[in-house]
Structure 1
Amino acid sequence: MTVPQPLHQALDRSNSDVVLIVDDVPDNLAVLHDALDESGYTVLVATSGSAALARAGQALPDIVLLDAMMPGMDGFEVARRLKAAPETAHIPIIFMTGLTETEHLVAALEAGGVDYVTKPIRPKEVLARMNVHMQGARQARQTRNALDAFGYASIAVRAADGRLLWQTPLARQLLLAYYGSSGPLAPAPVQAWLRRHLREAEQLVEPPRLTAELGARRLTFRLHQQLGQDEEGGDWLIVMREVSDDAVIGAMSLSFKLTAREAEVLYWVVKGKINRDIADIVGASPATVKKHLERVFDKLGVETRTAAAGMAMNRIRQLHPSFEG
């Protein structure tokens, strides 16, 4: 049985940007749909706020054209919800409104819009406004995709409240694995680390990196650059990289003829862990860890933890010079 791809993966973005138009008036949809389609865009439509949220979550469009005044959930609420969700927070929103009073235009921008056009809609004006915002969005998407392709996940975090403004697919997977959540806020340790080192970063001094551990895997966070400034610290691009020592454990198993579990126990001895800690990590009892360690001593021909760790470290450095014990 073939599992269907998520909509955002099935859409061909190599030659066409994806636009979501949200309007409850069919005539407005038709005019814009035809103009954008002729200009080479892939066009999706929604006629209500709830449909817009569902379609945006499925398709992850490159930009949203959003009617401000709709029955039920209006465009302002749709925008707030899109910006609150990490998966869609990065998508530029252009409001379409017949209301020109200052308070309505301010409300559109405060809800998360980057721009607005007034009704009746003039397709050429919409295309011109879209092009301005699409260039930045396109470059940002290409950068995020390139980082993921090379194993570097990335997130954007607002220093003031810790909100995740956007995250790459790889970043979402890693945050879920290490912290059990991928938003709407960055994990508490990441927020604390960012705020603690803001001053250094603002002075262009790279602060110490944050490291999280998950078994033999380590995830490092590095402050890359400031994306936007305000009085409360601005928005920051954080680059993440995961390193796994599974290869090191495998090498010890082969080198010393250890079982997989014995090699894992020896790995944690090299890392300086006591039996009780190792038991918690590998999901066994301290007594079981002790038995594994006794067999490791026998196979290595040593009598102490220190001797076993020293022998293992020498071999690891021969095979993996960059390993940090």
Structure 2
Amino acid sequence: MSRTAAAALDRARGDLVLVVDDVPDNLALLHDALEESGCTVLVATSGAAALQRALQALPDIVLLDAVMPGMDGFEVARRLKAGPATAHIPIIFMTGLTETEHLVAGLEAGGVDYVTKPIKPREVLARMNVHLGSARRARQEAQQAGQARNALDAFGYASITVRADDGRLMWQTPLARDLLLAYFGGHPPHWPNLAPQAVTDWLRRSLADANRQVEPPRLVVELGARRLTFRLHQQTGDGGTGEGEWLIVMREVSDAAVVEAMSLCFKLTAREAEVLYWVAKGKINRDIADILGASPATVKKHLERILAKLGVETRTAAAAMALNRIRQLQPQFEA
């Protein structure tokens, strides 16, 4: 989750209203009336300033002048609705334009309602309250969902929400961010706004399997003796597309303790224990070299010393001894 979204969820429960109008008298009138009603008020006198303030503060509702110099209210609304962080914010147009085509244009741009000028504060407040009820419920649900997802971190289960059509990361807990950086750091180039390509591809395959009523397999990514497993949990929103947004739960398992135990049990060096671990996993020397950042020749020399210390002649025999020991320590170990 972005800092702006987190700040919005953590702020006080009072409604935050962004008022956008290029006429100072209109701003002053609404500012005073809204503050008296208990709202916190932000103001903007241009379309560009409105977009900046909306993204920074994530208001609960926007009162938007339709006709302004430069970027008009219709374009501001379209851009707010196009942004994932601001698309949910209800917009009420304030307009002196009463022709049907202008009212339709406002609704098509993303407005949920409109009030006509000259502005009557009591009417504005009444219209706002209708739409703020939904905004308050959405905020409360988002806060509860955030608390539940962050709680997963405490138990070692990280979570992310990914939009399937474009791979955008809509949410990630702190642990999820750290794990994604550890396993996929530097990729893709738009990190951290996009999920790693491997995750997006797996999600789309999983949705296709779900459509065929086949339970989708989990994605497993390895990093040395560590493994990160991704499990598709549930759909969290339609995201404006057919594929929607999906909550994915991540769990990391590490065999570092197993490697250390083999080192002690067989009197191996740390690197020899790592080589034996991957031999037990069925990897060939070239693959082990790639995993450990060594050359195949170096892996071969390590393996020769391992065979001598274990008193066996083949890698198959060494793997069998290692597997027997590993399964005593970790019965669920998968070779």
TM-score when scaled to structure 1? 0.72
Who is 1:148 aligned against? 150
Post-superposition Cα deviations, 1:190-214, rounded to whole Å, max 9, x if no partner, equal 55444445465357x4631341515
Within a 5 Å distance, the mapping from 1:92-241 to structure 2 comes to 92-98=89-95, 99=97, 104=102, 108=106, 111=109, 113=110, 115-119=112-116, 120=119, 122-150=124-152, 151-158=157-164, 161-162=165-166, 164=168, 166-170=170-174, 178=184, 179-180=187-188, 181-182=190-191, 188-198=197-207, 201=210, 205=213, 207-215=215-223, 216-225=226-235, 227-228=237-238, 233-241=242-250
Question: 2:93–2:114: 8 Å Cα contact kept in structure 1?
Answer: yes
Shift of 1:21: 1.0
Shift of 1:273: 2.4
Who is 1:265 aligned against? 275
Runs of 4+ residues over 6 Å off in structure 1: none
Who is 2:60 aligned against? 63
Distance between the aligned counterparts of 2:30 and 2:325, measured in 1? Answer: 66
Structure 2 unaligned regions, length at least 5: none
Question: 2:203–2:232: 8 Å Cα contact kept in structure 1?
Answer: no
Equivalent residue for 2:258, pick from 251, 274, 280: 251
Aligned-pair RMSD on alpha carbons?
4.1
Who is 1:284 aligned against? 294
**Bigger radius of gyration, 1 or 2?**
2
Question: 1:157–1:163: 8 Å Cα contact kept in structure 2?
Answer: yes
Distance between the aligned counterparts of 1:278 and 1:284, measured in 2? Answer: 8
Shift of 1:241: 0.8
Shift of 1:23: 1.1
Post-superposition Cα deviations, 1:276-302, rounded to whole Å, max 9, x if no partner, equal 223223333223333444444455454
Q: Secondary structure at the match of 2:16?
A: strand
Question: Quick one: structure 1 residues 97 and 223, their matched pair in 2 at CA, closer, same or farther if it must change by over 3 Å?
Answer: farther
Name the amino acid aligned to 2:144.
Answer: Q
Name the amino acid aligned to 1:290.
Answer: K
Structure 1 unaligned regions, length at least 5: 1-5
Within a 5 Å distance, the mapping from 1:27-46 to structure 2 comes to 27-30=25-28, 33=31, 43-46=41-44
Q: Secondary structure at the match of 2:10?
A: coil
Give % identity: 47
